Amino acid sequence: MTLFEGRDLDCVRGERQVFAGLSFAVPSGGALVLHGPNGSGKSSLLRLMAGLLKPSRGHLAWDGRAVADDPDAHRARLQYLGHLDAVKSVLSVAENLDFWASAQGDGAAGVAAALERTGLAGLAEVPARMLSAGQRRRLALARLFVNRADLWLLDEPTVGLDEDSIGRLQAGLADHRRAGGRVVVATHTALDLPKAERLDLSAYQPPEDAGLEPW
Amino acid sequence: MVGAALSLAGRDLRLALRQRSDAGTVVLFFVLVASLFPLAIGPAPNVLLRIAPGVIWVTALLAVLLSLERLFLADFEDGSLELLTLAPTPLSLLVLAKCLAHWLTTGLPVILAAPVIAVLYGLEADAFAPLIGAMLLGSPSLSLIGAIGAALTLGARRGGVLVPLLVLPLYVPVLIFGVLAVDAALAGLPARPHLLLLGALLLAALPLAPIAAAAALRQAVE
């Protein structure tokens, strides 16, 4: 069983140490939920897992092989959902999704199915500027269902979602895990993820004065 | 891989078509500024003919410069750029696709408008072909080199002011050979050597600029 793991990760943003000595492991079909107060480094950890950030110490490994050795292969197996929805207002819902289907993967394999999963099927031809904040978020989430990726990195996926949509997201996450996919999610909302591991980032905060030079 | 790049170029073109004012501004700027010079300098035909190649090229250069800031900015602000850097397609190929779309929406319209300005300055018909040829070979280099500047200034405050400072010095060779090609034709000399040099600049920029811009974009999304 392949394992996605990080060992002894340190993350420095600007001059500030965000977290230190953090390790994690996500098996196939597993889920990891990141907890911690604002600013504790949940987003930084997700960006680090995606390869957008480089750890200042430690390393990430996939199936025992360092991710840094083959960043292209790592990019091909992940889907990252950040704070921003990456939605173009002047394009229709379907056009937005069509673009990501071909830019990130093998063509418009599952655009219709992805719209169905996120409850946007009826809005396919609507320009994205007409969408509400929650609907834009659902459009961003629809990207996950368009192309098959093993690793989902989700940063606050439930922001702006109504209960119905959260239910749909949970069903999508469950299906993804059943198919052997893995999920890392940072959220403040209670998401029903059976057998998910919890990672509390407040346990990895550097001591208060760690970054300061002695006078 | 190529399919992903083409779909990105297609998306950028579609965005430009739906937000026509953006692309329209560039051509309008080119035509308006170029037609200011006769008003300021006076209508003496020999003077206008003498400055025509320089004015057309400098104005085209400034028009392209005007459009560079938004080359990556919208994608940067709405999060698309992060996702593009994570796409399985090499980022430099995606940058090349964006440059292609940028050229089609700025460089090409400016080239199409150039004959109008050339007529305004009384440029002889013999010089039209070298002018268009030089612009066809030179303007893609402007988009490509400009992409490096646009990528480097992403996330910097007042990036719009920095782009010209970074990019204009690199535009100088294109400007020189572009003007020389038209001047040569006006003097009855062959324009070919200058066109070949413009082609060489383009061939150098084609692989190198996307690689440099891609590296800058990775820094910007970090």
Query: What number is the ipTM of this complex?
Result: 0.89
Query: What is the per-residue pLDDT across B106-123, written as a single tens digit (0 to 9) for each?
Result: 999 999 999 999 999 999
Residues in chain A with CB shorter than 8 Å from the CB of B19 are: 90
Residues in chain B with CB shorter than 8 Å from the CB of A95 are: 11, 14
Residues in chain A with CB shorter than 8 Å from the CB of B70 are: none
Rg of chain A (C-alpha set) = 18
Q: Say if A27 is an interface residue toward chain B (CB within 8 Å).
A: no
Determine, for residues A88 and B78 on separate chains, whether the beta-carbon distance falls below 8 Å: yes
pLDDT level of residue A190 (50, 70, 90 thresholds): confident
Query: According to the model, what pLDDT value does residue A88 have?
Result: 93
Determine, for residues A75 and B84 on separate chains, whether the beta-carbon distance falls below 8 Å: no
CA geometry: angle A62, A63, A68, nearest 5 deg: 30
Query: According to the model, what pLDDT value does residue A166 have?
Result: 93
Tokens standing for B13?
């073109």
Q: Give how many domains chain B has, as a whole number.
A: 1
Q: Are A24 and A60 in contact (CB under 8 A)?
A: no
Q: Are A85 and A143 in contact (CB under 8 A)?
A: no
A-facing residues of B in 19-58 (CB < 8 A) are 19
Rg of chain B (C-alpha set) = 18
Task: Of A7, A75, A6, A11, give the one whose Cα is nearest residue A205.
Answer: A11
Query: According to the model, what pLDDT value does residue B104 have?
Result: 95
Query: What is the per-residue pLDDT across A118-136, written as a single tens digit (0 to 9) for each?
Result: 889 899 899 999 999 999 9
CA dist A111 and A94 (Å) reads 7
CA dist A24 and B31 (Å) reads 60
Determine, for residues B4 and A85 on separate chains, whether the beta-carbon distance falls below 8 Å: no
Residues in chain A with CB shorter than 8 Å from the CB of B11 are: 88, 91, 95, 99
**DSSP tag of A41:** S
Provide the residue range defining the domain that includes B46. Answer: 2-221
User: Which of A14-23, A175-184, B9-18, B95-104 has the lowest average pLDDT?
Assistant: A14-23
Determine, for residues B86 and A86 on separate chains, whether the beta-carbon distance falls below 8 Å: no
For residue A52, give the nearest of B8, B89, B221 by CB distance.
Answer: B221
Residues in chain A with CB shorter than 8 Å from the CB of B22 are: none
Q: Are B171 and B143 in contact (CB under 8 A)?
A: no
pLDDT level of residue B157 (50, 70, 90 thresholds): confident
pLDDT level of residue A209 (50, 70, 90 thresholds): low
Query: According to the model, what pLDDT value does residue A40 have?
Result: 87
Mean pLDDT (chain B) is 92
Q: Are B110 and B64 in contact (CB under 8 A)?
A: yes
A163-190 mean pLDDT: 91
B190-217 mean pLDDT: 96
Query: According to the model, what pLDDT value does residue A147 have?
Result: 83
Query: According to the model, what pLDDT value does residue B58 have?
Result: 96
Task: Of A7, A11, A31, give the one whose Cα is nearest residue A150.
Answer: A31
CA dist A64 and B126 (Å) reads 68
Angular region, A119: left φ>0, alpha ψ -120 to 50, beta rest: left
B170 contact partners, CB below 8 Å, separation of at least 6: B145, B148, B149
pLDDT level of residue A208 (50, 70, 90 thresholds): low
